[in-house]
Amino acid sequence: MIDILKDRQNQVFEGRKDQKFEMSCDKISAAGSVSQRACVFCGSRVVLYPIADAVHLVHGPVGCAAYTWDIRGALSSGPELHRLSFSTDLKEKDVVFGGEKKLYKVLTELIDTYHPKAAFVYGTCIVGVIGDDMDAVCRTVSREKGIDVIPVHSEGFKGTKKNGYQAACTALSNIIGTGDISGIPEASLNIMGDFNVAGETWQIKSYYKRMGVNVVASITGDGRVDEIRRAHGARLNVVQCSGSMMTLAQSMKEKYNIPFIRVSYFGIEDMSKALYEVAERLGDAAMLERTKSLVQEEVAAIMPEIRYYRTKLEGARALVYTGGAFKVFSLVRSLRTLGMKTVVAGSQTGDKEDYQQLRDLCDEDTVLLDDTNPMELAKYIQEKDVDLLIGGVKERPIAYKLGVGFCDHNHERKICLAGYSGMLNFSREVYSSVCSPVWSLMPRRRKFTGGI
């Protein structure tokens, strides 16, 4: 038996008839809970790192940078500066006497060596504690080298991963609006909150191209500084991973009067809805026709195989836990397409509105978890007889230790899961994992035998 920590009782909804639905989210993680959620710095780096022609410098002890190399499988069609991990490697002496001189030296050396289009400097916990004036150093280097050097105030202790998203959006605001926007056509948009994991942004761009829509900037998957500078010339912002990009979309609406829509590119329903919504906002009757043909062709191509997986997976039970809540909605729908039931769902950064929407979408008895931890995940995997955990690198060992299938839907994965072909890849992954014969060797209370 595992009890829910007292401080977390309002962040767990068990779907009992006598339980009032009131998710207390937007909180810092409860002490002792060993949250699955990452720090502020992590939030900002995952948003900004896919900008491939910029230097990304972590100002802090080398440990903060340990997990930055290839943190996302964010692919680039050109330069690959983002795949290098740079740190000022602050030591005890720097903590005592300050790290500004070291930051200046490292920044100038990096810019002289790599000639980046811009540099992002991430402040970590210790920098916040010793009070280095990062802004002043960035200003000086920017003036001397003639490129944008942007401080990202992401000291890890300053809040939650969400505050890191906001710091990243603030940094992006500094470069948006500085490029020439002449010649941008009417039917144009910015892709926001897609990070080109396993080439997903390319997949989405190919759909927009077939529809006749021009992509001004991809923020930030396969991102380029000069494209982001022109982002204020687009007619529409299309926001995925709304947790990370809503602040920027809202500020661009206020500053440049660019409307935004929230979409998801995962699953047949949500992918199609996104394309139709873009066509309605930007296009004419001809674009709407092109979109219809695109959707019909793509769906027809994948459905026969998906129907086969459905016969194998019908009745299997899933636990879904991701960073942003919007992705959870798509996963619940995608699992339904495969005949599966989501018995537990949650996110690291969902807000009240997200959880209400999730409650409406899920079954009556689905458990909802905000900012959960390994103990709670283990508890519900067992209590709800879960056959599949969908999460990221931190959730994978929990699934395997408990002998259930796992599908990586996080940024480390190497398989494209967005779009129509992505839905097919997802179905194959889920089928391979849930129906693996290895689970028959595990001492589970209920074993899924559907497709085996």
In the complex, which residues of this chain contact ligand SF4 (CB under 6 A)?
Answer: 39, 41, 60, 64, 124-125, 156
CB of 60 to ligand SF4, least distance (A): 6
Return the number of the residue (160 or 425) whose C-beta is nearest ligand SF4: 160
d(CA 202, CA 60): 34
Nearest Cα to Cα of residue 427 among 451, 404, 401: 451
Return the number of the residue (54 or 64) whose C-beta is nearest ligand SF4: 64
Return the number of the residue (59 or 327) whose C-beta is nearest ligand SF4: 59
Return the number of the residue (41 or 380) whose C-beta is nearest ligand SF4: 41
Taking residue 24's Cβ as centre, other Cβ atoms within 10 Å add up to 15
- The sheet carrying 12-13 orders its strands as 12-13, 367-370, 341-347, 317-322, 388-391, 405-408
d(CA 35, CA 45): 19
Instruction: Name the residue number minimizing CB distance to ligand SF4.
Output: 156
Return the number of the residue (128 or 199) whose C-beta is nearest ligand SF4: 128
d(CA 330, CA 348): 16
Return the number of the residue (121 or 204) whose C-beta is nearest ligand SF4: 121
CB of 410 to ligand SF4, least distance (A): 18
291 within 8 A of 284, measured Cβ to Cβ: no
Return the number of the residue (334 or 373) whose C-beta is nearest ligand SF4: 373
CB of 152 to ligand SF4, least distance (A): 11
Residue 266, CB half-sphere, CA atoms under 13 Å: how many?
25
| Beta pairing class for 188-192 and 214-219 | parallel
CB of 102 to ligand SF4, least distance (A): 17
Classify the C-alpha dihedral 125-128-132-138 as positive or negative: positive
CB of 273 to ligand SF4, least distance (A): 36
344 within 8 A of 322, measured Cβ to Cβ: no
Return the number of the residue (125 or 332) whose C-beta is nearest ligand SF4: 125
DSSP state letter for 68: -
Return the number of the residue (120 or 426) whose C-beta is nearest ligand SF4: 120
- H/E segment holding residue 424: helix 419-434
CB of 59 to ligand SF4, least distance (A): 10
Return the number of the residue (46 or 306) whose C-beta is nearest ligand SF4: 46
d(CA 177, CA 335): 41
Backbone angles phi, psi at 67, to 5 degrees: -105, 20
Residues 6+ apart with CB under 8 A from 423: 266, 267, 268, 271, 302, 306, 334, 337, 417
CB of 412 to ligand SF4, least distance (A): 17
CB of 32 to ligand SF4, least distance (A): 17
CB of 386 to ligand SF4, least distance (A): 30
207 within 8 A of 275, measured Cβ to Cβ: yes
d(CA 99, CA 267): 47
Mapped onto helix, strand or coil, the DSSP state of residue 233 is helix
CB of 66 to ligand SF4, least distance (A): 8
